[in-house]
Amino acid sequence: MRQILKFLVLAAALLAPSIASAQCQFTFPLPANTVVGRLGATGSSGPCQAIPFAALASSVLSSVATGHWFAQNGGVVNRMNDRLLIGGATVGDGAFPNVTQDWLTQFQIAAGLSAGAPIVHELSVLTQPSSAAASGADGILGGAQSLFSTSAATATIGISGYAVNNNATLATDAWAFYGECHNTTSSVNGCIGMELDPRTTVASVSPSPAQQGNVLGEQLACGAGLATTGQDCSAAIQLARNPTKFKVGINFMQDALTGNDGTTGSATAIALPKGDTIQWYNSSGVTTAAIASTIATAANGINLNFNDNGLQVANSSNSYSIAYFFPLASSVNYLSFQPNVTGSAPTIAAGGTDTDIGINLTGKGAGTINLNSAIKYGGVTLSNSVTGTGAMVLATSPTLTTPILGVATATSINKVAITAPATSATLTIANGKTLTASNSLTLAGTDSTTLTFQGTDTYIGRATTDTLTNKTYDTAGTGNVFKINGTTVSSVFGSGSAVSMAAVLGQLRFVITGVNFNSANTDNAISISLPSGVTRYQVTGIRITNASASVSTATAGLFTSTGGGGVAIASNQAITVTATATDTNNNMQALTLNNSSTEAYNDATLQFRIGTAQGSAATADVHLTIIPLT
């Protein structure tokens, strides 16, 4: 049967001079290379004695569980003092300087240290320096489970380390945990100083700066959870050379984060709260550049997204682009942005290796480039109200195409000299008209008078004797009097010899040409001009003729007001004009009149109204005949 050493009490010489218990009692100091205990078969107990180390060589160190934790409840508390060497560490002699050395001490001295780490550790656990360690190459193991916890606030910790730097006289350092990994044989071998590998079989909390995660690879905290007042710690993570360097400070594997496999998707690699800064320093430890965010409202958030199209500046809440900066592999020219001091404007400038570099501003599609402030060119401020098209005009010899001038000063245009008036003057030429002077001409007369030329001809003088041909004298004009053989003729009707209106009452005809019969609900005004002294008239006819096409689909009427209002002289009625040629039936129509022989009018304007449109292009002339009444 395998021998088992049951340790009921183990103590060191530095404790009390003797130790007693119900199981074992012994007087210190112990003989060299011995321990206190009972050596016997499994389940039995031998006499309490000082047991030489050699007697333990083939034994198993074990104690029977009591089911208790604290000594006052019956739990067995085993104690060891000074130093404890386990496994491969037992090769060392424990002396200083040590002559017989364990394998780690030999390795560290060969690497350049003055002594091995086991010489300063109370507990040294090393793997066996032989093939016996092939199936178990891990040095030390700590494990804990929360299965038997009785309080929700209980923490389960596999391995704990505590260091207290409380030397008040010397400048000392303290490490709660320290680990080294040495890769000495091959560049393909791995060497990891520490791996923290949590696992969860249930959903974990998605953390943020406002929400702590619950399944973490590492949590670094300051203050040790103590309520006493303390100072802020220096840094959560500090990377340093000792003496060699890291190739990368922090490396995220491409598929390490949820949502991103390194090819598609995205994930949050670093989460920072509002106000936290990524800060850079120069070699003297002085702050230089920084990246920070003080945005409090999600809708105001801004993202920097580097993609294959370039750099996208986007709104965080909806990913809408704010700006895009596109890459160009062969680019040598660029834009530079420079601020300025008080009283001076900032600068957007072209930069690059070329000697002469312009700046291109391009809109999309039919979009324009809008300048909302005044422009200064060559030191001259240009108005931000710009009209017209074409090239910019400069001071000397510009060529202008159809310019529109407001208030301007000129001495000549197209070799035509212009004499400036003392204060102001107006020259007006109607739209589409031409003023030609073949000889020098001076016009003089009374202000605000109009001279009307009826056609190309030789015009008569007021005091000259001339023969008139094809002339019309309108007695309706203000101040006009026409006499024949001493008899005043105010209006002329009919044809043949002129007669006085007082002798014969004739008819007047008013014509509007090219009336659009394809425009529904449209009024066409007919101005009524009566002879002097006449205030009323009788409508004797309204006729449609000279049509460009059939207008038989349309309807029309004659009214005293627009919109078919007032008196319906001729109600809206069907049109029967279907022919356009002369000497053809239905190439003319007289509309039916209402009360034509019983009603007189004094309206200065009548409205010929198209009701229903023809449905296709069609025009015609409209003739109105009236009899003036005294």
- pLDDT of residue 301 exceeding 50, the answer is yes
Answer with the residue of higher pLDDT: 376 or 231: 231
Whether the CB-CB separation of 298 and 290 falls below 8 Å is answered with no
Looking at this protein, which amino acid is placed at residue 37?
G
Buried b (16+ CB within 10 A) or exposed e, 557-566: bbbeeeeeee
How many residues are given for the chain? Answer: 630
pLDDT of residue 15: 33
As a whole-number percent, the residues of the chain with pLDDT over 70 amount to: 81
Q: pLDDT, tens digit, for every residue of 21-61?
A: 444 555 556 666 666 665 554 434 556 666 676 666 555 66
Whether the CB-CB separation of 608 and 556 falls below 8 Å is answered with yes
- pLDDT of residue 150 exceeding 60, the answer is yes
| Residue ranges with strand state E in 492-535 | 508-516, 522-527
Q: What is the mean pLDDT of the chain?
A: 82
Question: Which residues neighbour 273 within 8 Å (Cβ) at sequence distance 6 or greater?
Answer: 209, 210
Q: pLDDT, tens digit, for every residue of 582-614?
A: 999 999 999 999 999 999 999 999 999 999 999
Query: Judging by DSSP bridges, how do beta strands 3-6 and 60-62 pair with one another?
Result: parallel
What is the distance between the alpha carbons of residues 556 and 537, in angstroms, rounded to a whole number? 22
Structure tokens at 272: 């920072």
DSSP assignment of 553-600 equals T-EEEEESSGGG-S-EEEEEEE------STT-TTSEEEPPPSSTTT--
Q: Give the pLDDT band of residue 16 (cuts 50, 70, 90).
A: very low
- pLDDT of residue 523 exceeding 50, the answer is yes
> E strand or H helix at 109, and its extent?
helix 103-111
Residue 489's SS3 state is: strand
Could you tell me the domains of the chain?
Answer: 3-82 (no CATH), 86-128 (no CATH), 300-327 (no CATH), 472-499 (no CATH), 508-629 (2.60.120)
| Cβ atoms within 10 Å, residue 312 | 17
The average pLDDT across 145-171 equals 87
The average pLDDT across 236-247 equals 91
Among the ranges given (131-135, 252-256, 369-373), the one the predictor scored with the smallest mean pLDDT: 131-135
Q: pLDDT, tens digit, for every residue of 254-274?
A: 999 999 998 999 898 899 999
Q: pLDDT, tens digit, for every residue of 467-489?
A: 777 676 666 667 676 665 454 55
Q: How far apart, in Å, are the Cα atoms of 289 and each of 286, 302, 489, 539?
A: 10, 19, 102, 94
What is the distance between the alpha carbons of residues 19 and 7, in angstroms, rounded to a whole number? 14
- pLDDT of residue 281 exceeding 90, the answer is yes
Q: What is the 3-state secondary structure (H, E, C) of 241-279?
A: CCCCCCCCCCCCCCCCCCCECCCCECCCCCCCCCCCEEE
Question: Which residues neighbour 301 within 8 Å (Cβ) at sequence distance 6 or greater?
Answer: 295, 315, 316, 317
Q: How far apart, in Å, are the Cα atoms of 555 and each of 68, 558, 566?
A: 116, 11, 18
- pLDDT of residue 190 exceeding 70, the answer is yes
Among the ranges given (132-136, 260-264, 536-540, 545-549), the one the predictor scored with the smallest mean pLDDT: 132-136
Buried b (16+ CB within 10 A) or exposed e, 32-63: eebbbbbbeeeeeeeebeebeeeebeeeeeee
- pLDDT of residue 223 exceeding 50, the answer is yes
As a whole-number percent, the residues of the chain with pLDDT over 90 amount to: 37
pLDDT of residue 78: 77
Q: Give the pLDDT band of residue 402 (cuts 50, 70, 90).
A: confident
Question: Which residues neighbour 221 within 8 Å (Cβ) at sequence distance 6 or greater?
Answer: none
**Environment class of 628 (CB within 10 Å of its CB; exposed 0-12, middle 13-18, buried 19+):** buried
Q: pLDDT, tens digit, for every residue of 407-445?
A: 777 788 778 888 888 888 888 888 988 888 888 888 887
What is the distance between the alpha carbons of residues 486 and 430, in angstroms, rounded to a whole number? 41
What is the distance between the alpha carbons of residues 284 and 453, in angstroms, rounded to a whole number? 95
Check: pTM over 0.75? Answer yes or no: no
What is the distance between the alpha carbons of residues 311 and 323, in angstroms, rounded to a whole number? 8
pLDDT of residue 12: 33
pLDDT of residue 4: 30
pLDDT of residue 2: 29
Question: Which residues neighbour 488 within 8 Å (Cβ) at sequence distance 6 or greater?
Answer: 481, 482, 500
Of 42-46, 515-519, 530-534, highest mean pLDDT: 515-519
Structure tokens at 245: 């360097």
